[in-house]
Amino acid sequence: MSRIDRDPAARSRLIGALAMLVILWPLFQAAEVKPGVLFDPGNLKVIGNFLAGFLPPETGNEFLGYLAKATLETLAIATAGMALAFLIAVPMGYLASGAGREKATLNPVTRSLLTILRGIPELVWALIFVRVFGLGPAAGVLALGLTYGGMLAKVYAEILESVDAAPARALRHNGADRPLAILYGLIPQASKELASYTVYRWECAIRASVVMGFVGAGGLGQLMDQAMKMLNGGEAATILLAFMVLVFAADGFSGWLRRALDTPPANRASPFGWRSGGLGLALVVSIVASFSYLEIGLKSLLTLGPAFDSVVVEAARSIGEFVAGFFPPDLSAEWLAKVGKGIWETLAISVVGTLLAAVAGLLLALPKWRAPFSFLLNTLRSVPELVWATITALAVGLGPFAGALALALHTAGVLGRLYAEALDNAPPAPGQALRLAGAPGGFAFLYGTLPGAAPQLIAYTLYRWEMNIRMAAILGFVGAGGLGQLLYFELSLFHHAQASTVIIAMLLLSIAVDQASAWLRRAMR
């Protein structure tokens, strides 16, 4: 082969492949990846018997009544949690953002608080609130409010900073205060994007509300946890089907709502871009109905009369004592060594699960296979990671490999959908040119279509890794290793100082992965 025929990038590709192998090999070892156990006769028999127990699904009237109540409770938790998150996000986003300021100064204290709120997984918040307030939906609403409040505030601030600042500056120069400058100068430009992201987060909140039920925060998750612990496969199958229908319905509704928000309004728009007061009224009614259904409100407290103050004081004292038990965190060498191992396992679970999902998602997103596998993609992402972890733990045993497989199954459905959109939006010309030149379809895709979509594919994968590190940190709640398993054990034993160290480790790991992902995205532009 002459020098001109050689691939000029062959050497750099080989070095890159070897570097990836050196980095990934210890992570695969830490995740205890052993594909052979999937085909072990004993494990196959266990998982076969477990799945066989799902048939037939439970259809008794009494159970369906409980199921309907749990489904409504899940929707109410998601809606009420998002309402609380919005109340947190608006002032926090205002304080954190540099939008509307004459000098682009940010509030580092607010930014740090937002990092803490969104860095701690909602399941951890739910577990803590269950310990404080007891079992029930209140813990789920508070957990969603804190985590999603941090997420919404961060994104709201970034959206407002990304639009044209000229109208807001003009208003400020004419004497308007900063709130009015943002309200009339920035929000009209960003209203669709703000509303679209809020609707998307509500859709995510429905999935999260199911997961939080596994620690006693109500809804379908709590019903599913009870069915799994009682080995009642028929009930579990019906609950799972109900949840899939709920997710599909939420996806369809949120898609319709986003399209409706993108439609030019027929009537005069308000600064928030609503087509009319009907949507706002429906939103308020649904929020009030959610809090009312969950029986969360001040009515029961106000009826206490003179005893109200003593109840508030007693509740504040109990919460203060509970929080004080987390400080100071346990920083002994022995415990830090255990936490360090948990951090490494959690990181390995997230990386291995995301990589396996990326490979499976890309295969399922290929144009020639997409149609027959579209239902599979929807099914994979509809089943919560904790449910997948329960199933994979039966297939491969307890440990980090079960967590990696659970992440891979759920994330393959998410990435498959995103990859399909990216491939559809890739420039068609290179692939068409290669096919016209006689290249086979596979080569045309590999060297023509895929390079054009690669930046978006990589960005989606890295964004998903950021989310998976948070989920990997809690899969241990069902025996899938990592920091979650440590946290669950320590909270169950009321070892709050040790639990505090684990929570801090979760937060720091989440921040580190966010920073690493952002750096990789910038490096690959």
- Domains of the chain, by residue range, sit at 23-52+330-525, 55-300
411 within 8 A of 469, measured Cβ to Cβ: no
The pLDDT of residue 314 is 64
Element (H, E) at 69: helix 61-96
Class of domain 55-300: mainly alpha
DSSP 264: P
Distance (Å, whole) CA 365 – CA 62 = 41
CATH superfamily membership of 23-52+330-525:
MetI-like (1.10.3720.10)
CA distances 452 to 95, 429, 446, 457, Å, are 39, 10, 10, 10
Rg for the chain, CA atoms, rounded: 25
407: tokens are 């992440």
DSSP 36: G
Is the omega angle on the peptide bond into residue 56 within 30 degrees of 0, that is, cis?
Answer: yes
Distance (Å, whole) CA 324 – CA 37 = 44
Name 87's Cβ contacts closer than 8 Å, sequence gap at least 6. Answer: 145, 149
Distance (Å, whole) CA 177 – CA 268 = 25
Is the omega angle on the peptide bond into residue 108 within 30 degrees of 0, that is, cis?
Answer: no
40 in the Ramachandran plot: left (φ > 0), alpha (ψ -120 to 50) or beta? Answer: beta
The pLDDT of residue 9 is 61
- Is 23-52+330-525's fold the same as 55-300's? yes
- Closest among 241, 261, 134, 123 to 192, alpha carbons compared: 261
The pLDDT of residue 299 is 47
Element (H, E) at 116: helix 108-119
**DSSP character string of 203-242:** HHHHHHHHHHGGGT--HHHHHHHHHHHTT-HHHHHHHHHH
**pLDDT in tens for each of the 525 residues of the chain?**
444 445 566 677 677 778 788 888 988 998 888 888 877 787 778 778 777 877 888 888 888 998 999 899 999 999 999 999 999 998 888 887 776 565 555 567 777 888 888 888 888 888 888 877 778 888 889 999 999 998 888 888 888 877 777 888 888 888 778 888 888 888 888 777 788 788 878 888 888 888 888 888 888 888 888 887 787 888 888 988 888 888 788 777 777 776 766 665 554 444 444 454 566 677 777 888 888 878 765 444 444 445 545 555 665 676 677 777 788 898 999 999 999 999 999 999 999 999 999 999 988 888 766 667 777 887 888 788 888 888 888 788 888 999 999 999 999 988 888 888 788 777 888 877 878 887 777 777 777 777 888 888 888 898 889 889 988 888 888 888 889 889 888 888 888 899 999 999 988 998 888 888 878 777 766
| pTM, full prediction | 0.79
